[in-house]
Amino acid sequence: MTTEFQFIAGEYRSGLAFLKLDRKDKRNAINDLMIEELGQFFDNLAPETRAVVVHAEGEHFCAGLDLVERMQNRSTDPLSGIKRSRTWHRVFDQIEHGNVPVISVLKGGVIGGGLELASSTHIRICEASTYFQLPEGQRGIFVGGGASVRVPRIIGAGRVTEMMLTGRRLDAEEGCAMGLGHYLVPDGQGMAKAEELAASVASNSAVSNFAIINGVSRIADMGTSEGFFAESVLASMTAQAGDFKSRTSEFFDQRRRTRDERN
């Protein structure tokens, strides 16, 4: 099944959804319509979807906010800017705290809002050409799509401050060493790695996946007591509602078969 949008393209294959940023002539810069389309895509994921892969057309994952549209539609009403920023927050929160894991394939520039999108995904694959940049200081703006919340959780507030002040580029190796990327692959091999990981993640218990993507990041924000309580609820919920018994029995049966074959 294929779903048509103007600036993104969606496709479904074998229980996986593939979302392509499809605006390469503008380096996949995110304008108002594109953020709306991203929201629509994640709001209406096919029910059989077990994992999503986000990737991009062209040489750059995403050049961030569409600065041209932003300059043209500049308003003196501070509330309109807040509303726009809150829309980005809502869409990226749908990605981070939705029902299924999301894997991103990064390459070229992952800049400003591009890093905000990437950091809302759960597994990030960097092709060798990837670089990360937060040039908001140089452009005279501030991040507005969640970077000041999500990126410090990954690399620390000090590093984000330095990135924003200097606007310097972090290359794929440096980004992966800091946790902005989880896998570093040669150019052109990101999609193959993403499909392999997506198939593996999709074979987990859907209930466990839901608990992992919704629980871990939220628990990290909680106090110790609240965190322990939330963890106990998820532990109990997964053990009761998921396919814990059949999966764990199968795991031990398989171990037994392997042991018997060895002896």
* Binding characters for ligand 1HE, 207-226, by CB under 6 A (x = yes): --------------------
Q: Could you say which of 8, 91, 105, 111 contacts ligand 1HE (CB under 6 A)?
A: 111
Interaction of residue 153 with ligand 1HE, rule CB under 6 A: no
Q: Could you say which of 36, 57, 87, 139 contacts ligand 1HE (CB under 6 A)?
A: 139
**59 is annotated as an active-site residue:** no
CB nearer to ligand 1HE: pick between 56 and 202: 56
Question: Strand 131-133 vs strand 109-111: parallel, antiparallel, or unpaired?
Answer: parallel
Q: Which of 37, 116, 127, 195 is the catalytic position?
A: 116
Interaction of residue 88 with ligand 1HE, rule CB under 6 A: yes
Closest distance of CB 3 from ligand 1HE, Å: 24
CB nearer to ligand 1HE: pick between 63 and 151: 63
Considering only residues 14 through 73, tell me which ones interact with ligand 1HE, judged by CB under 6 A. 26-27, 29, 60, 63-68
Taking CB atoms, the residue at the shortest distance from ligand 1HE is: 112
Q: What is the distance between the alpha carbons of residues 27 and 107, in angstroms, rounded to a whole number?
A: 11
CB nearer to ligand 1HE: pick between 139 and 153: 139
**261 is annotated as an active-site residue:** no
Provide the residue type at 211 as one letter: A
**Residues that are catalytic:** 116, 136
Q: Which residues bind ligand 1HE (CB under 6 A)?
A: 26-27, 29, 60, 63-68, 88, 109, 111-113, 135-136, 139, 141, 143-145
